[in-house]
Amino acid sequence: MRTSVYKPIPDTKLFKQQLLFWAQQFREVIFMDSNDYPQAYSSYDCMLAVDAFTSLKTDYYNAFEDLKQYQQTTKDWLFGYLAYDLKNDVEDVQSNNFDELGFPDLFFFQPKKIFLLKGNQLEISYLSMCDDELEQDFEEIRSSQKQQEETAESLLIQQRISKESYLQKVSKMLAHIHQGDIYEANFCMEFYAENALFNPLDKFQKLNEISRAPFAVFFKNNKHFLLSATPERYLKKEGEKLISQPIKGTSKRFSDPIKDEDAMNQLALDPKERAENIMITDLVRNDLSRIAQKGSVAVDELCGIYSFIQVHQMISTITAKLDPQYNVIDAIKATFPMGSMTGAPKISAMKIIEELEETKRGLYSGTVGYFAPNGDFDFNVVIRSILYNQEKQYVSFSVGSAITSQSIAEKEYEECLLKAKAMREVLQ
């Protein structure tokens, strides 16, 4: 049972910062911020969940069944993530690449304390066992101040794949496409630094400030951290309605308004970018049709152009109605991993990706989000994100692009560097 109270919040920007400062005392933290980005589908502007009462941590084996049982047993708010490598639980594929981050494949927790902000109204929801702490915590949050910033040494960021090797690997992927093995695949590479000592909260705030993405996340589980500025929604459930919003298609922004508008228009009309997006839209439609009511899958928007601080993106919106015979976890399992991070056909693309990439993706290109007690959920796609193992002093971020028959390896490499810009700027 939970106790909920409501509080008016006059200055939401300040309060969100105070929430985040206060949260650092806990072992488990998920802070999600929409950064006031205008969205058609949005339940909350900001959410904070801290302090696990119960939790589920597991590798990929039987992970979705374990999550189903956990969700059905608790019937409460659950916050957490699914790593990309849960693909191995869904299909006959493997993950054997190098992994220095060491994140579990799946982690969810039932928080003792939850804060839900919508407009100027805050809902505070505490488990009954600790609801006597609610008012005191609220006063502590309102008086929270950021601790003095630690001066972090400049990090030596290295590429796991050299430019020369990247171009060779893209050529191999193009050969697979020309042979008809795949139509499209998302190929990623890792940037990393060793002996990395820094304050994760500082880095998240800097990343969030320069990106202001609609699905930003600060996640902490003891010594594992995710600092995410992702613009992409993977899957949301509202009642029986499912919403997926894959991103495929990127162009850089310009300070000159005329050049910037021109970049938007070029992206909207670019045949390669449109082909990428349409292929993934078809893949998502196909995935959703496996658990949807007959005839309910629809493309609400195809190849819409949306602007973020760093880049313009091409986004499509696909909706469906969940067939009552399927559980909420079935909806995620049927569509995971998301098409925008794999390719088409999905299984062949995942096998080729595994063969050519050099790093286990882990939480990168996985998803972070929550389940509400009524079974509704909302999950992002973990891109534009920094992953940090504080114990190993290892920090990593990965970027990728979609390879199609029209891809030019040099241009794909440049797109990866553009996507890496914000994370590199934050860490160096």
pLDDT in tens, 200-259: 999 999 999 999 999 999 999 999 999 999 999 999 999 999 999 999 999 999 999 999
Average pLDDT over residues 43-68: 97
Average pLDDT, the chain: 96
Which residues form the domain of 50? 2-145+157-427
pLDDT single digits (tens) 380-394: 999 999 999 999 999
22: in domain? yes
Q: Are 301 and 328 in contact (CB under 8 A)?
A: no
Residue 147 has pLDDT above 90, yes or no: no
Instruction: Please check whether residue 121 lies inside any domain of the structure.
Output: yes
Asked, for residue 151, whether it belongs to a domain, the answer is: no
Q: How far is CA 404 from CA 192, 233, 273, 278, 353, in A?
A: 27, 23, 9, 12, 13
**Would residue 152 count as lying in a domain?**
no
pLDDT confidence of residue 282: 96
- Are the C-beta atoms of residues 210 and 308 closer than 8 Å to each other? no
Looking at the structure of the chain, the number of domains it has is 1
Whether 35 is in a domain gets the answer: yes
Residue 207 lies in a domain: yes
Chain segment 3-19, per-residue pLDDT in tens? 999 999 999 999 999 99
Mean pLDDT of 77-102: 96
In a domain, 358, yes or no: yes
* Residue 150 confidence (pLDDT): 61
Return the CATH number at 298.
3.60.120.10
Given a cut of 80, whether residue 61 has pLDDT beyond it is: yes
pLDDT at 152 over 80: no
Residue 260, burial from CB neighbour count under 10 angstroms (0-12, 13-18, 19+): middle
According to DSSP, residue 86 is labeled G
Gyration radius of the chain over CA positions = 21
Mean pLDDT on 261-268? 96
Q: Is residue 150 part of a domain?
A: no
Q: Is the predicted pLDDT of residue 151 greater than 70, yes or no?
A: no
